[in-house]
Amino acid sequence: MDVESAQLVDYVNDRDRERNTPADQRESYQVLEDVYVMTRRRKRDPVHRLRRILFHSTGNAKGQQAARAKRLAKATEDLEKLRRSAGGRYYNTTAKVEARIGVIAKTRVANCLRTTVTTAPRGRPSLTWHFDQHVLDTEAAADGWYSLVTRLTPEQADAAEVLKHYKGQAVVERRYGDFEGPLAVAPIFLEHNRRITALITVICLACSCSAWSNAKCARPWEPSRPCAGSTPTTARSAHRTDDPPPPRRPHAPPRPLLHFARE
């Protein structure tokens, strides 16, 4: 995959658009197209030929290069420390040195790390190591590249349109999250498209009923039409003037005061 032979795509991402990034500092996208043949395990299964678009993003390339440099720097520091400590108090055997190398290699540098552990005549181990530059160059050549497979023909959507559809998936997922939020619906997985349509229909009906009930409750009630199950305001008025006043509750007798004299 050669970046120089790829075609530049006229697309500006949302981050650069919101920040008003200058044109020479924006993330650029380049594209290559070919045909992807999808086969199955069984010979009688049909073979599908799909349109594959290879995109190269300068932003992704910079991020991958920075991440690789950070991993190599961390591994270099640990390997140099191990090389100086080999044969000492904590790494006095070959097994301990190799075990430590295995721990360092777990930081995603195992594919390019080359180590050699030797033993001196007195039994003290020593370590020599280096990174395979050919593997690093191969990884660097793939920085920023990712592929998209689509059934859209070039007449239906060019490379820029396919990229816009791919970048717009996050908006669709956020909108579906908005549907889930008010109704507190748990995430589910559907098998057919018709079930997705039916679920969206039910959600829309539920949202409509919720909005209708909220609007109904927010509307002020008319004084002449009391709410069902409640008492009109006139019924809760004070007592009539000709009715005798309600009896008063008798007051409790005062409690005697207790005085304490100091001896």
Q: Does pLDDT of 233 surpass 90?
A: no
Q: What are phi and psi of 53, to 5 degrees?
A: -120, 125
Q: Where in 113-254 does DSSP place strands (E)? A: 113-119, 125-131, 145-150
Q: Which one-letter amino acid corresponds to residue 162?
A: V
**47 or 170: whose pLDDT is higher?**
47
Q: Which of 146, 152, 178, 121 is closest to 58 using CA atoms?
A: 146
3-state secondary structure of 245: coil
Enumerate the domain spans of the chain.
7-58+143-157, 63-139, 171-213
CB burial of residue 262 (10 Å; 0-12, 13-18, 19+): exposed
- In this structure, the strands spanning 113-119 and 125-131 are antiparallel
Give pLDDT tens digits for 58-116.
999 999 999 999 999 999 999 999 999 998 889 999 999 999 999 999 888 999 999 99
The pLDDT value recorded for residue 187 is 64
221 — pLDDT class (breaks 50, 70, 90): low
